[in-house]
Chain A
Amino acid sequence: MSSIWTLHFHASSFPHRTLSREVQFERYLGFACNCKNCSRRSTLRKFIVRAVSSDDDKRLPDEVIINNSVKDTAVKPQQNPVAKFQESVSSLPLLIFKTGKYYGTSFAVGLCVVATMLIIVVKGYAARKSRYNRPGSVADLVRRGQLRSDRRGISTPLKYEDPFNNPMVKVSKSNTTVEMCGKVYRLAPVTLTDEQQSVHQKRRSRAYQWKRPTMFLKEGESVPPDVDPETVRWIPANHPFATTSSDIDEGLAQNNVYQKHGVPFRIQAEHDALQRKLEALQNEQKLNKLVIDPAAAKDFERPLKSHLKSGDQVEQSISNPKLSPNPPKSDRAHNSCEQNNL
């Protein structure tokens, strides 16, 4: 549609300027046509020369039409826009067939146009591609095991290299506006003063009176006389986490927190208890060996109890291959004791 604008503009301007502008505009649009068909070009060139002649008498009917259309738009603004459009379209071939000058300029303009279109296509493709590769989707929940799904598509964590590179934020030279992600922001100074802050602190100290609770009582218990009532809290019996009774050894808990090396207390205590039990059982076994002949006791042995499964029997035989298939009664009792504890 700019061709129409050009035509109207140059219809009212000097003819010699019309010639140059028409040639330029033709170069902008029709360079491809010029490259393809030279013979056609020559014919059209002649056509143009005649068309842009400054002599009013020798003007072609097309030019007359153009002038008339200009005049018509000036005199009769109510002319049918469809007819005007048809006139402008019919006059387009006049501009496409040029004289053949300014090849370099047309090539540069054409190159710019092609580069522009290429950039547009590449940008659109990149935007479409990034849309499909957006991280932070439900696939990450699947990867972390929070959702059960057969979907794949685990994305790798992003690497952040330079925390100081923020190309999104642009501060203006006058230092009053900031452009960020297509929006413009104005800097508004903070107006809170120290006096205002102290006023708020005084207000809050009057409004909120609170003391840290130090005593926790069950419902129905009485408050001791020497305790500040504001430091007392009543705990309901059905509280999910809290209780008033102190079954925990606080000193022991504190020592556990401050422990830096070695085995943790409870693990060590369990280990020691097991160790003592083993020693006790071994001592008992020694005593039993002095009294009971294992070989003779075989005749009086009962089959293994039902709570021991067949797998356990296999494990026992595997773990003690050197022993007889029927270990002594004390050992079997010891094994069953260990398995029960586990």
Chain B
Amino acid sequence: MGMISMQPLTNPKTSPLYCHPFSPKKKKPRSLTVHSLLQYNRKPQLSGETPRVVVITSGKGGVGKTTTTANVSLSLARLGFSVVAIDADVGLRNLDLLLGLENRVNYTVFEILNGDCRLDQALVRDKRWSNFELLCISKPRSKLPLGFGAKALTWLVDALKAREEGAPDFVLIDCPAGIDAGFITAISPANEAVLVTTPDITSLRDADRVTGLLECDGIRDIKMIVNRVRTDMIKGEDMMSVLDVQEMLGLPLLGVIPEDTEVIRSTNRGYPLVLNKPPALAGLAFEQAAWRLVEQDSMKAVMVEEEPKKRGFFSFFGG
């Protein structure tokens, strides 16, 4: 995980950990560990051409694509960027459940294609964050030609770019599992990809295959999120470390998400865990991944669990 500075926004402390980009007083020491620190006291600077169309894929199912899409997209919305999340799973719709918007999805992409509604009528705007919108593809009433889905999604993204209120900053596409028609449809309009994987060999093999297909289709900007990391198992050498995963796949790291039971609770609530207060560990990790996505950055260091710190008497009081 990248490191988070402890300094709040209104009271920046002068310490080696706090590096404001515009303060000339303190020199940033040229060491790898300092660069790994995440400077959290400023808004991330959007880099790259907008709208940035990002597909979140994995190959293997159940690794956390939809969870990643929901949390990263809401993190981006909370950072002030306009985001449209598209659930590109034709048969199974889950993104609306994680966001708690399942009762508000009245129209999907197929209603748009059939002429039953307009694009703006099918977009579900989140009442909590007005700059976040959801669009679902859902199950078609009748069979569709396979190549048509890719065209339709490309038209949709173009229409989002050309809408009157302005193009969104980010379009995140939640890709279905597998590498068949749904995958081909989802990656069609994307310029970059986030590959979600877990530190197990089955997921890694599928992730490698998917990376190859993405590169064949012309998507070169591919970053990796390692999900469901158990630092205790890594310490006991029962699980591959994040660096081992990176060595196998050869992809830059966007984020490392620890295993967190709060994920299940957030799914039950319909409230992504990045919005929790106090923030959950996995929520913090998703926020950091969103930050790096905005700045097109990658992790420079990962956290490896060590021996627990010996607690003194006064630590009992919550220090």
- A residues whose Cβ falls under 8 Å from a Cβ of B: 119, 123, 134-138, 140-141, 144-145, 155, 157-171, 173, 175-192, 196-197, 199-201, 203-205, 207-214, 216, 233, 235, 239-248, 250, 252-254, 256-262, 264-269
Residues of B within 8 A of A245 (CB): 145
Are the C-beta atoms of B151 and A250 separated by less than 8 Å? yes
Q: How far is the CB of B295 from chain A (nearest CB, A)?
A: 16
Partner of B100, one of A144, A173, A248, A260: A144
Are the C-beta atoms of A166 and B40 separated by less than 8 Å? yes
Are the C-beta atoms of A190 and B299 separated by less than 8 Å? yes
Task: Say if the beta carbon of B309 comes within 8 Å of chain A.
Answer: yes
Partner of B146, one of A170, A181, A233, A256: A233
Are the C-beta atoms of A243 and B277 separated by less than 8 Å? no
- Known: A136-B268, A189-B36. Contact between A240 and B91, CB under 8 A? yes
A197–B220 Cα gap in the complex (Å)? 12
A185–B307 Cα gap in the complex (Å)? 8
- Known: A188-B304, A260-B163. Contact between A175 and B17, CB under 8 A? yes
A187–B181 Cα gap in the complex (Å)? 41
Of the four ranges (under 10, 10 to 19, 20 to 34, 35 or more), the interface on chain B belongs to 35 or more
> Chain B 236-277 against A: per-residue CB contact (8 Å), 1 yes, 0 no?
000000010011011111000000001011101111001111
Task: Say if the beta carbon of B171 comes within 8 Å of chain A.
Answer: no
- B residues whose Cβ falls under 8 Å from a Cβ of A: 1, 3-6, 8-9, 16-17, 31-34, 36-37, 40-41, 75, 78-79, 90-91, 100, 102-103, 112-121, 128, 139-140, 142-148, 150-152, 155-156, 158-159, 162-164, 181, 184, 208-209, 211-213, 215-217, 231, 243, 246-247, 249-253, 262, 264-266, 268-271, 274-279, 281, 284, 287, 298-309, 317-318
Residues of A within 8 A of B3 (CB): 169, 171, 178, 187
Residues of B within 8 A of A243 (CB): 143-146
Residues of B within 8 A of A191 (CB): 243, 246-247
Q: How far is the CB of B107 from chain A (nearest CB, A)?
A: 9
A165–B287 Cα gap in the complex (Å)? 12
Partner of A188, one of B40, B91, B243, B268: B243
Are the C-beta atoms of A164 and B9 separated by less than 8 Å? yes
Are the C-beta atoms of A183 and B231 separated by less than 8 Å? yes
Q: How far is the CB of A228 from chain B (nearest CB, A)?
A: 14
Residues of A within 8 A of B32 (CB): 189
Q: How far is the CB of B194 from chain A (nearest CB, A)?
A: 16
A188–B253 Cα gap in the complex (Å)? 13
A262–B164 Cα gap in the complex (Å)? 14
- Known: A167-B6, A213-B146. Contact between A241 and B140, CB under 8 A? yes
Q: How far is the CB of A239 from chain B (nearest CB, A)?
A: 7
- Known: A169-B6, A188-B301, A241-B90. Contact between A140 and B213, CB under 8 A? no
> What are 8 pairs between A and B in contact, CB < 8 Å?
A119-B317, A140-B270, A187-B304, A188-B304, A201-B250, A204-B211, A205-B216, A241-B91
- Known: A175-B37, A235-B146, A256-B113. Contact between A212 and B217, CB under 8 A? yes
